[in-house]
Structure 1
């Protein structure tokens, strides 16, 4: 089995050990490295080349935003999931623009953590559901309203959008609607095209901003 390699970057040893214990209970996930500060996180990621990094925003010497900037500048092909506390939500929009793949709170339940890792490994964006509305509140505070859709969405596309805004991945949406995951992917692609959006994060923002869910 080709396991999902993960690096854990957090300055709290107990947090890292707890995350590692949860992740390594899964047969398809392997923790290949750990880091306790920003510079060591960059070094560990570049050396181990993991498919996913769980990256704390607040770390000594260099924070998660600075680490992300370096990784993106150097085109490191690792999916980044930001570990955050609720009060860090003002950073999320900046991180979205930088291309981070996931955003989870440190008190996330084990299933959510595992779903996040698997989702971003598949190329999807994962936002913990209870972070989504905080993200929208911050978006509303500093931006203008999002422009309307170029083309109207179908009823099924609106359903898919609502589930995306709730933080569901394609597989969960497929099970909820009783359709194939491939069909869900087609709906997501159509939504992105019609709304002129770039990713699932922007879809969630659009849906909540325009009260479509």
Structure 2
């Protein structure tokens, strides 16, 4: 099995070297590049096309949020995890809106980071558990009564679909898991969005987290 290739973008050399040593203790991971500022992160990210990029927010020349935006606009297929000291809701929401695949704090343990890397590499969205409540606060509905009405409006199959959306699966993967066509999944997703009054999969996933809709 090929290893998951990683690029680390952080302006602190010791941080980059320390992360490299920690990550490469796992036989499934390999660090193929490092960047010390936002410009270098964009340039090397595009050139090396790693499976996963670990991107700090506080970097010289171009900050991590702008680097994330430009990397996404470039069309690279690399998954991008924000690895930062900031446990601020605005940073979290902004980076997810731009297209970050994960968000992990620098004080997380190594197992959390390794798990995040492997999950986003598999196509899932990873938000460190301690940050989930922060994100939920940004999507509060008017009251609990309306929230319950929305939840009760979902059919059993729509419950199955939203559980898998919350796991980060795309329509094709959901169809394979539930043994239904991708077109049928797309119709279910559209109905879920309408019933919950949300506009994207992140908001649907947050609804699932907030309302304790468990994984299948």
C-alpha separation between the residues in 1 aligned to 2:122 and 2:49? 16
Counterparts of 1:61 and 1:28, CA distance in 2:
32
CA distance in 2 between counterparts of 1:87 and 1:123 reads 23
Structure 2 regions of 5+ residues with no counterpart?
Answer: 170-175, 194-198
Map 1:135-154 to 2 at 5 A.
135-140=135-140, 148=150, 151-154=153-156
Q: Deviations over 1:49-88 (max 9, x none)?
A: 1011000111111111100111111111111100122443
Larger radius of gyration: 2
State whether structure 2 residue 46 is matched by structure 1 residue 49.
no
Q: How far off its partner does 1:195 sit? A: 2.1
Q: Distance in 2 between matches of 1:116 and 1:193?
A: 28
Partner of residue 205, structure 1: 206
**Separation in structure 2 between the aligned mates of residue 15 and residue 202 of structure 1, nearest angstrom:** 33
Alignment partner, residue 99 of structure 2: 99
CA distance in 2 between partners of 1:33 and 1:66 (Å) = 20
Count the aligned residue pairs. 192
Q: TM-score when scaled to structure 2?
A: 0.74
The equivalent of 1:37 in structure 2 is 37
Contact 2:7-2:52 within 8 A present in 1 as well: yes
TM-score, normalisation: structure 1: 0.75
Q: Alpha carbon RMSD of aligned pairs, Å?
A: 3.4
Q: Match of 1:89?
A: 89
The yes-or-no answer on 1:125 pairing with 2:102 is no
* Deviation of the 1:7 alpha carbon: 0.3
SS at match of 1:148: helix
> Matches of 2:90 and 2:179 in 1, distance apart?
30
Aligned mates of 1:185, 1:97 — CA distance in 2 = 30
Q: Distance in 1 between matches of 2:15 and 2:111?
A: 16
Deviation digits for residues 173-205 of structure 1, max 9, x if unmatched? xxxxxxxxx74898xx69845522643x43431
- Structure 1 residues 74-113: Cα deviation after superposition (integer angstroms, max 9, x where no partner): 1111111001224433112122221211011111111111
Deviation at 1:30, TM superposition (A): 0.8
Provide the C-alpha distance between the structure 2 equivalents of 1:184 and 1:14, rounded to a whole number of angstroms.
46
Residue equivalent to 1:195:
192
Q: Is contact 2:87-2:105 (8 Å) kept?
A: no
Secondary structure at the aligned position of 1:44 is classed as: helix
Task: Find the counterpart in structure 2 of residue 14 from structure 1.
Answer: 14
Query: Kindly tell me: are residues 184 and 64 of structure 1, through their superposed partners in 2, closer, same or farther at Cα, counting changes over 3 Å?
Result: farther
